[in-house]
Amino acid sequence: MQKHYDVLIIGAGAAGLTLALHLPKHCQVGVVSKGALLGSSSTYWAQGGISAVLDADDTLSSHIDDTLNAGVGLCEPDSVAFTVENAPAIINWLVELGMPFTRDPDSDADTGGEFHLTREGGHSHRRVIHAEDATGKALQTTLVNHTRLASNIDIIENVIAIDLITSDKLKDSCGDKRCVGTYVLNRNTGDIDSIASTTTVLATGGANKVYLYTSNPDGASGDGIAMAWRAGCRVANMEFMQFHPTCLYHPEAKSFLISEAVRGEGGILKLPSGEPFMQRFDPRADLAPRDIVARAIDHEMKRLGIDCVYLDISHKSKAFIQSHFPNIYQRCLELGYAIDQEPIPVVPAAHYTCGGVVTDLQGQTDIAGLYALGETAYTGLHGANRMASNSLLECMAFARAAAEAIRIELQQPHPQPRLPAWDDSQVIDSDEAVVIAHNWHEVRRLMWNYVGIVRTDKRLQRATNRIELLQQEIADYYGHFKINSDLLELRNLATVAQLIIESAKCRKESRGLHYTLDYPHLNPEAEATILQPQPETR
Ligand SMILES: Cc1cc2nc3c(=O)[nH]c(=O)nc-3n(C[C@H](O)[C@H](O)[C@H](O)COP(=O)(O)OP(=O)(O)OC[C@H]3O[C@@H](n4cnc5c(N)ncnc54)[C@H](O)[C@@H]3O)c2cc1C
Q: What percent of the chain has pLDDT over 90?
A: 80
Which residue owns the Cα nearest ligand 1 atom 50? 46
Out of 147, 392, 398, 485, give the residue to mutate to test ligand 1, the one with the largest number of ligand atoms within 8 Å of its CB: 392
- Measured distance CA(211)–CA(352) in Å, rounded: 11
Note the pLDDT of residue 262: 87
395 lines ligand 1 (CB under 6 A): yes
Instruction: For residues 170-188, give the mean pLDDT.
Output: 90
Report which ligand 1 atom has the smallest distance to the Cα of 14.
25
Q: How far is the CA of 42 from the centre of ligand 1 (A)?
A: 3
Instruction: For residues 227-248, give the mean pLDDT.
Output: 96
Which residue owns the Cα nearest ligand 1 atom 9? 389
Mean pLDDT of all residues belonging to the chain: 93
Note the pLDDT of residue 108: 65
161 lines ligand 1 (CB under 6 A): yes
Which tens digits make up the pLDDT trace of 294-350?
A: 999 999 998 999 999 999 999 999 999 988 888 889 999 999 999 999 999 999 999
Q: What percent of the chain has pLDDT over 70?
A: 98
398 lines ligand 1 (CB under 6 A): no
Note the pLDDT of residue 181: 97
Query: Is the pLDDT at 387 greater than 50, yes or no?
Result: yes
Which tens digits make up the pLDDT trace of 125-142?
A: 889 999 987 899 999 999
Which residue owns the Cα nearest ligand 1 atom 14? 46
Instruction: For residues 21-49, give the mean pLDDT.
Output: 95
41 lines ligand 1 (CB under 6 A): yes
Whether residue 284 lies in the annotated active site? no
228 lines ligand 1 (CB under 6 A): no
Beta-ladder partners of 321: none
3-state secondary structure 248-285: ECCCCCCCCECCCHHHHCCCEEECCCCCECHHHCCCCH
Note the pLDDT of residue 29: 98
Region of 166 please: left (phi>0), alpha (psi -120 to 50) or beta: beta
Q: Residue 300 is inside which H or E element, if any?
A: helix 290-304
Which residue owns the Cα nearest ligand 1 atom 49? 12
Which residue owns the Cα nearest ligand 1 atom 27? 205
Q: How far is the CA of 168 from the centre of ligand 1 (A)?
A: 31
Q: What is the pTM of this model?
A: 0.94
247 lines ligand 1 (CB under 6 A): no
Least confident of 21-30, 106-115, 403-412: 106-115
- Name the more confident of 326 and 237: 237
Q: How far is the CA of 157 from the centre of ligand 1 (A)?
A: 16
Least confident of 99-113, 445-459, 471-485, 501-515: 99-113
Note the pLDDT of residue 409: 97
Q: Is 281 exposed, middle or buried (0-12, 13-18, 19+ CB in 10 A)?
A: middle
List, as one string, the DSSP characters of 326-375: HHHHHHHHHTT--TTTSPEEEEEEEEEE--EEE--TT-B-SSBTEEE-GG
392 lines ligand 1 (CB under 6 A): yes
Note the pLDDT of residue 327: 82
Nearest to 379 by CA among 178, 80, 7: 80
Question: 320 phi and psi, to 5 degrees?
Answer: -60, -50
Beta-ladder partners of 129: 50, 117
Note the pLDDT of residue 536: 57
The residues near 325 (Cβ < 8 Å, ≥ 6 apart) are 259, 261, 262, 265, 313, 339
Note the pLDDT of residue 538: 45
356 lines ligand 1 (CB under 6 A): no
Task: Classify the C-alpha dihedral 353-284-521-451 as positive or negative.
Answer: negative
Catalytic residue among 290, 386, 466, 507: 290
- Measured distance CA(275)–CA(249) in Å, rounded: 19
Note the pLDDT of residue 264: 80
197 lines ligand 1 (CB under 6 A): no
Instruction: For residues 370-388, give the mean pLDDT.
Output: 96
Rg (CA), the chain: 23
Q: How far is the CA of 378 from the centre of ligand 1 (A)?
A: 14
Instruction: For residues 32-60, give the mean pLDDT.
Output: 94
Which residue owns the Cα nearest ligand 1 atom 21? 43
- Name the more confident of 6 and 172: 6
Note the pLDDT of residue 312: 97
Which residue owns the Cα nearest ligand 1 atom 52? 46
Report which ligand 1 atom has the smallest distance to the Cα of 375.
26
Least confident of 63-67, 151-155, 434-438: 434-438
120 lines ligand 1 (CB under 6 A): no
Residue 485 DSSP SS3: helix
